[in-house]
Amino acid sequence: MSKQVSPIGESVADDIKESLENPEFRAEYERLAPYEELARIVIMRRAALGLTQAELAARMGTTASAISRVESGQHATSPQTLKKLANAFGARAVLGFEFGPTKRPERELVAL
């Protein structure tokens, strides 16, 4: 019996949920999660400021393709790039470590 599919197709969330059963897919999905979260933050902040990728790049002294890579959520971002992003957004980049239980960790942070 074939699976019923809506005329508008399936949601991406359904596809991801099924794919997470594959250990290799799950490992890659979890590896990329922080980069995708950072990408969402950058995209939303850039949009809130009404900036194009080229305008944000100019503020950072980099290229629009570098911004595109960050916003793809598929690449690690260096601390230097995070600092430049923060400066371009009028913010501070903060890095650190969490120790102890995940629900109530102790955090040690440093502003870049």
How would you write 39-108 as a 3-class SS string? HHHHHHHHHHCCCCHHHHHHHHCCCHHHHHHHHHCCCCCCHHHHHHHHHHHCCCCEEEEEECCCCCCEEE
In tens, the pLDDT along 89-108 reads 999 999 999 999 999 999 99
Note whether residue 5 is domain-resident: no
Note whether residue 87 is domain-resident: yes
For residues 32-45, give the mean pLDDT: 96
CATH number, residue 84: 1.10.260.40
Note whether residue 3 is domain-resident: no
Share of the chain above pLDDT 90, in %: 73
In tens, the pLDDT along 66-81 reads 999 999 999 999 999 9
Note whether residue 44 is domain-resident: yes
Please give the residue range of the domain that contains residue 97: 12-111
Bigger pLDDT: 96 vs 7: 96
Q: Tokens 């650190």 — which residue?
A: 96
pLDDT band at 4 (very low <50, low <70, confident <90, very high): low
Note whether residue 6 is domain-resident: no
In tens, the pLDDT along 40-61 reads 999 999 999 999 999 999 999 9
Note whether residue 100 is domain-resident: yes
Q: How many angstroms separate the CA atoms of 36 and 6, rounded? A: 28
Domain count, the chain: 1
pTM over 0.75: yes
Note whether residue 51 is domain-resident: yes
pLDDT band at 11 (very low <50, low <70, confident <90, very high): low
pLDDT at 15: 74
Q: Tokens 């400021």 — which residue?
A: 49
Note whether residue 2 is domain-resident: no
Q: How many angstroms separate the CA atoms of 40 and 44, rounded? A: 6
